[in-house]
Structure 1
Amino acid sequence: MKMFGRMMSCCVALLLTFSSVSAVRKLNSITHLRSVGSDISSQEDCLRLLHWFANTVDINTNDDIRLTFGPNLRDYGSHQYRNDEELLEALPRGYQYYSLGNIHREGSLRLPPHVIQSEQDDGNRARIIIRVREQNVDERISRIIDRVYITQHYEAAEHRKRDYDPKPTYGITTSLLRAIRRFPMDSDNINLLRSLRNRYRSDADDSQLSEIRNTWGHLACLGLLLFIVIQHTSA
């Protein structure tokens, strides 16, 4: 009976572990991103941050995501994330979680103004969490990201502003990062905007594309991404 009890306890523990891990849904495409937009209250801030991240990291042909900055240096508002609230799965040996996007943390590299301004307007809640594995390669430290999450802190009214809200927490796949990278940070080419509109079946007409281009300037592709995701959500 004691052995049976221990087996039952182990089974329950495993079920709880699997349920907690599987609770973080993965987003694989722009379509998936559009479908969950209503879950993210600081939606535009999260999208701006995610767009910046996708266009900042390196992704090679093997789908390895490599950091181009130092999370230990507090670059881009980064700091170690301890997962105290067990939002994510327990860390394997040799891995570390980092949180990115806190505009109040000073580092040698800062987030671009269009991300900082958005965060200021909505209370500095949007975050990206990455799981990083460090390797020694030719006497250099190589940091490879094998998990990416988008999340946000609770609203101030929840009185849990230091914790992350599990509802708008999603795993971001390499496929989605590659899709977002099709919207570069430095282009207002109208032909590219038309191509992206058609690819993602947006109903933005040419006059709306011109308005996005005039409003957003070199960030016109980001403006179109926000239009595609947010307009679809609010429709």
Structure 2
Amino acid sequence: MMKISGRVTWCCVALLLALTSVSAVHRELNSITDLKKINFGQSVPKHSLLLLHWFANTVNIDDNNVISLTFDPNSGAYGSHHYGNFEGLLDTVPQGNQYRYYTIGSLSQDQSMQLPPYVARPSRQYEGENRDRIIVRVTEQNTGWQFFRRIDQVYITQHIANHAEYDPDHTYRITTNLLREIGEFSVGPNQLPLWYLRNRFGSSADDFDIETAWGQLACLGLLLYIVLGERHPFTPKSNYKLQVRQQSAYTPDNRQTSWCAALVKCCMIVVVLLIGLFILAISAARR
């Protein structure tokens, strides 16, 4: 009886652990309201929000809620590589189908396509120690004239501190609806008005304050304000892209041209002064 009781106890413990693990990775975040319930900054790095914002504005979502990847994850783009799921963190890949898991967002590996500066080089309070990742399950389809990579599962997760494994207790499945909502906070020339986003998601944020502090990244600043409840989580250089563009156009040839132009201006000023002095001297001599 004792042996049977012991076996039953161990079976119950194993079953409980299995159920706990499964429930952890299947916790879904379906909206920004769900996102606000995550303890960012304590249990989950705030950097996850920056990575998720970039991802939601990089993939394509069609009218049928089909998510397609816009880059080749096998190339290492945006810190991506194959993920074997050897520890059983996620669902087993269906047999007979071309499904593979990939992780995205490593800041340490060489990248053929770089993450934007606000993700790759955030302020100190947003650094995630390169622990947070996005995991996607991708199926590849060759239509004959186009290679199509379809995503059917998206997760945010993080490495356990000082370990290579991912943390099952802080792995969340991201729904298409949440990706759509985050995608509304896109940055760039086609971004939506702040007042519209503020009213749509019931925020009390001050449009003027956020736009002044965030500039071109104002929509991202509003998203972080809504999720984290902070007015200014960090204040990046709002004209970063413009500054980079101006600096990249500044070459030694341009510098030489600038010096020549300055020298010509100085010579012209000297000539004008000499002419003025000459005229004054003639006038004085006539008197």
| Structure 2 counterpart of 1:34 | 36
Contact 2:44–2:170 (Cα < 8 Å) also in 1: no
**Distance change >3 Å, CA 125–CA 104, structure 1 → 2:** same
Question: Which residue in 1 is equivalent to 2:222?
Answer: 224
Aligned position for 2:52: 50
Which residue does the alignment assign to 1:5?
Answer: none
Which residue of structure 2 aligns with residue 81 of structure 1?
83
What is the TM-score when the length of structure 2 is the normalising length?
0.68
1:100 aligns with 104
After superposition, the Cα gap between the structure-2 partners of 1:39 and 1:92, relative to the gap in structure 1 and judged at 3 Å, is farther
Counterpart amino acid of residue 160 in structure 2: Y
Tell me which residue corresponds to 2:210. 212
Superimposed CA distance per residue, residues 26-74 of structure 1 (whole angstroms, 9 cap, x where no aligned partner): 1100100101234864432100000000000000011110011010000
What is the aligned partner in structure 2 of residue 181 from structure 1? Answer: 183
* One-letter amino acid matched to 1:111: L
Q: Deviations over 1:212-231 (max 9, x none)?
A: 21222111101110110011
CA 1:135–1:21 in 2, change beyond 3 Å: closer, same or farther? farther
Contact 2:32–2:178 (CA under 8 A) maintained in structure 1:
yes
Q: SS where residue 176 of structure 1 aligns?
A: helix
1:52–1:185 CA contact under 8 A, matched in 2: no
Single out whichever of 119-128 and 46-55 deviates more from structure 2: 119-128
Percent same amino acid at aligned positions? 50
Structure-2 separation of matches of 1:108 and 1:51: 20
CA drift at 1:141: 2.1
Is the contact made by 2:80 and 2:105 (CA closer than 8 Å) also made in structure 1?
Answer: yes
CA-based RMSD of the aligned residues comes to 2.6
Larger Rg: 2
Name the CA shift for 1:118/1:132 in 2 (closer, same or farther; >3 Å): same
Letter paired with 2:221: G
1:154 paired to 2:160: yes
In 2, distance between residues paired with 1:18 and 1:65?
Answer: 29
Q: CA deviation at 1:193?
A: 1.0
2:170 is paired with a residue whose SS is coil
Alpha carbons 1:213, 1:220 under 8 Å: kept: yes
Contact 1:20 1:88 in 2 (8 A): no
Distance of 1:56 and 1:142 partners within structure 2 = 15
Query: For the residues of structure 1 that align with 2:24 and 2:74, how far apart are their CA atoms?
Result: 29
**Is the aligned partner of 1:123 residue 2:129?**
yes
Distance 1:187 1:20 in 2: 43
Question: Against the structure 1 CA distance between its residues 123 and 15, is the aligned structure 2 distance closer, same or farther, given a 3 Å change threshold?
Answer: closer
Alpha-carbon distance, 1:17 to partner: 6.6
**Relative to structure 2, which stretch is displaced further, 194-203 or 144-153?**
194-203
* Aligned with residue 138 of structure 1, among 119, 141, 144: 144
CA distance in 2 between counterparts of 1:119 and 1:216 reads 13
Q: Which 4+ residue blocks in structure 1 deviate beyond 3 angstroms?
A: 11-22, 37-43
Structure having the higher strand fraction is 1
Provide the TM-score with structure 1 as the length reference: 0.82
State the partner residue of 2:71: 69
Q: In 2 relative to 1, CA 44–79 (structure 1 residues): closer, same or farther, beyond 3 Å? A: same
Of the structure 1 ranges 115-124 and 220-229, higher mean CA displacement relative to structure 2 is found in: 115-124
**Residues in 2 aligned to 1:215 and 1:164: alpha-carbon distance in whole angstroms:** 35
Aligned residue for 1:180, secondary structure, equals helix
Task: Say which SS state the counterpart of residue 89 (structure 1) adopts.
Answer: coil
Cα drift, residue 187 of structure 1: 5.4
Distance of 1:48 and 1:55 partners within structure 2: 11
